[in-house]
Structure 1
């Protein structure tokens, strides 16, 4: 009997535990109602936000699509558009170019911009005839542009304009705003870079010229001008810059193979030969003395130094009398200069 009673009690206890588990598993109806109301409130609060986000995205997509439709045909037209009018630099800039130094052309003159008409029936384009002044702007262009192509669109040109680094002055300063008048030509009296080109992807620049956005010109497209690519070096390197051809007033160390403050430069200075003009005069008047000065140092590069001076002299009509040796030397005296 005792065993049976214990078994009955155990069965009742097991049934009670199972019932408790079933009761705990049954969800609370009131809790479900609260959760449902909370979820409904959250959705109602989120709905305006979702509507606004969706609306903004749809509007943005429509605007972007409209712009593409408007711009793509224009870019396609520009890509194939050709014009008989183009800007060009009369002469290329003299290289190398240093920061904070005036940019000149290869002949030592100010750079010039010319508007040419390529459909004038002549072999070489001539300056275009313009009825009213045209404003032109000089800009810095990426050295990689336009690659191997000779044609480009205005948008492509504008996309490759290089702007100054943050916190720096404009890259190009001076006469960056020009006006083409009757003869369709403008001189750039002062122009210089304020920063080197080492920080750019191509490590090089070009100088470009375009019709200014502020210009009232409304005729056919005028193709932009660009120079050849070049690097812009820090002005500190100009302290030892050579010139080719050298100029009369240049210090004599500007000639090739004469190092500034070097042995030969010191010997020339001691002999009162300070400028290229002094060097040329001595080469005409007293070649033996110049030869002696050169041989005191080294003879391997004598001919190179003399040839440089000789070629420079070919670019001058005369050498002005600076020390009373003579009134002038004309180019007829060139044959009498015996190269060392």
Structure 2
């Protein structure tokens, strides 16, 4: 019992000591420490006040330098400039924009076999006039995508849009477009002939499958003047290994017959024609006039040939220029004048009346034509006068306009010329279009 009282008394004393310690007042800082802290704050504030102008000046200088560098970068970079699509008054143009299919490693020529021709012009509204600058400009040729420009931008574009469509060579290849000179110079003239330009790669690997030739002025040579770039029409570029199999448009009389469409070199049609003695386009056309059914049987031996394919071959062959050579063959009553593909141009008869000709004309003329075809190399050859060719072309055009029937050839007999199917006789001295053969006496006398 006594022990419990001592424990309780001891616990109470400990609680009283704890409460006394919690109620002790905090220590008060000394005056010296307060004065020291105040002096330290005032010293730091003075330091900041003294450094502030220096810091402001340094920051301003650095900001100005950064802005100037950014402005120079934007000025130099065409891709970051905002360019207005305003039509340039000065522009380069190709005077011969239409180009045929081209083979690699072959000089680029237009449809007439001429070199590319560039011209500097000034366009004001719809009026275009040649322009000569007082200083020389350098011109660079480049390969352009075949789908540039778009229909919307056909008349104007920015340099960035043009440069974006420049086609570069494929990896590991030679430069895509090779020219005689790196830069062509135009000085004291508005015309420039561009020769010895060729592609080194075909156009099958780009999206449009076609190229264009573009011409742009070197920036350093134009004195800050905007000159719109020139572009040709789009064209296909094929590998030069296919040039030996190229079709000709139009074909020539002495071309191999496989130059015609649908007839492949050393193919089935070519072999059949060659075995039948038809080697050239002229041979093909002559037989198509004399006996077209025989020609169709030769080409379509066994399997035949569709009308569509036959029409394609014949249509291409008929675009051939037959020239002005005439071939003369004589029979017992008639003398025939044929053109280079065995078409009858004129018939001279010893008969004195049109009735005599009407009765026997067709059969004997057809036989004479067949004989002439079989003995072609023995025929007499003369040149047709140019005036007569023009007259014949005019007469054909007039007949087509009037939807009138036109005889395939004229018949000359006893100073009278047969001019239509109604056997209308006209004096030979009158002017009657292509039927008036001023050279008849010269040829037959």
Matches within 5 A, 1:17-36: none
> In the alignment, is the contact (CA less than 8 A) between 1:93 and 1:104 conserved in 2?
no
Question: Which of 288, 309, 315 is residue 307 of structure 1 equivalent to?
Answer: 315
> In the alignment, is the contact (CA less than 8 A) between 1:129 and 1:182 conserved in 2?
yes
Give 1:63's aligned residue.
69
Counterpart check, 1:197 vs 2:203: yes
Moved more, 290-299 or 323-332: 323-332
> Taking structure 1 as reference, are residues 115 and 337 closer, same or farther at Cα in structure 2, changes over 3 Å only?
farther
For 1:275 and 1:242, the matched residues in 2 are separated by 13
Give 2:218's aligned residue.
212
Deviations 1:299-323 (A, max 9, x none): 524443333232232xx765799x7
Give 1:255's aligned residue.
260
Question: Which of 118, 127, 131 is residue 128 of structure 1 equivalent to?
Answer: 131
Matches within 5 A, 1:170-185: 170-175=175-180, 177-180=183-186, 184-185=190-191
> Taking structure 1 as reference, are residues 70 and 235 closer, same or farther at Cα in structure 2, changes over 3 Å only?
closer
How many angstroms does 1:153 deviate by?
1.5
Question: Which of 288, 295, 304 is residue 290 of structure 2 equivalent to?
Answer: 288
> Taking structure 1 as reference, are residues 218 and 197 closer, same or farther at Cα in structure 2, changes over 3 Å only?
same
Give 2:336's aligned residue.
none
> In the alignment, is the contact (CA less than 8 A) between 2:79 and 2:160 conserved in 1?
no
Give 1:224's aligned residue.
229
Give 2:114's aligned residue.
109
> In the alignment, is the contact (CA less than 8 A) between 2:115 and 2:193 conserved in 1?
yes
Deviations 1:187-233 (A, max 9, x none): 3333221112344455543211112357x443732210112344433
Give 2:141's aligned residue.
138
Q: Secondary structure at the match of 1:311?
A: coil
Give 1:297's aligned residue.
299
For 2:241 and 2:84, the matched residues in 1 are separated by 42
For 2:275 and 2:97, the matched residues in 1 are separated by 38
> In the alignment, is the contact (CA less than 8 A) between 1:93 and 1:103 conserved in 2?
no
How many angstroms does 1:86 deviate by?
1.5
> Taking structure 1 as reference, are residues 210 and 267 closer, same or farther at Cα in structure 2, changes over 3 Å only?
same
Q: Secondary structure at the match of 1:195?
A: coil
Give 2:271's aligned residue.
266
Point out where structure 1 has 5 or more consecutive residues left out of the alignment: 1-57
Q: Secondary structure at the match of 2:178?
A: strand
How many angstroms does 1:136 deviate by?
2.0
> In the alignment, is the contact (CA less than 8 A) between 1:90 and 1:112 conserved in 2?
yes
For 1:196 and 1:114, the matched residues in 2 are separated by 27
How many angstroms does 1:248 deviate by?
5.0
> Taking structure 1 as reference, are residues 337 and 191 closer, same or farther at Cα in structure 2, changes over 3 Å only?
farther
Give 2:31's aligned residue.
none
> In the alignment, is the contact (CA less than 8 A) between 2:273 and 2:299 conserved in 1?
no
Structure possessing the higher relative contact order (Cα contacts under 8 Å, 6 or more residues apart): 1
Deviations 1:61-87 (A, max 9, x none): 9734541256579943x4334322221
> Taking structure 1 as reference, are residues 72 and 170 closer, same or farther at Cα in structure 2, changes over 3 Å only?
closer
> Taking structure 1 as reference, are residues 94 and 273 closer, same or farther at Cα in structure 2, changes over 3 Å only?
farther
Deviations 1:242-280 (A, max 9, x none): 233234554321221222223332344346544445545
Give 1:41's aligned residue.
none
Higher-Rg member (1/2): 2
Q: Secondary structure at the match of 1:244?
A: coil
So what's the TM-score if we normalise by structure 1? 0.63
For 2:202 and 2:97, the matched residues in 1 are separated by 19
How many angstroms does 1:154 deviate by?
1.9
How many angstroms does 1:172 deviate by?
0.8
For 2:135 and 2:254, the matched residues in 1 are separated by 41
Give 1:7's aligned residue.
none
Q: Secondary structure at the match of 1:135?
A: strand
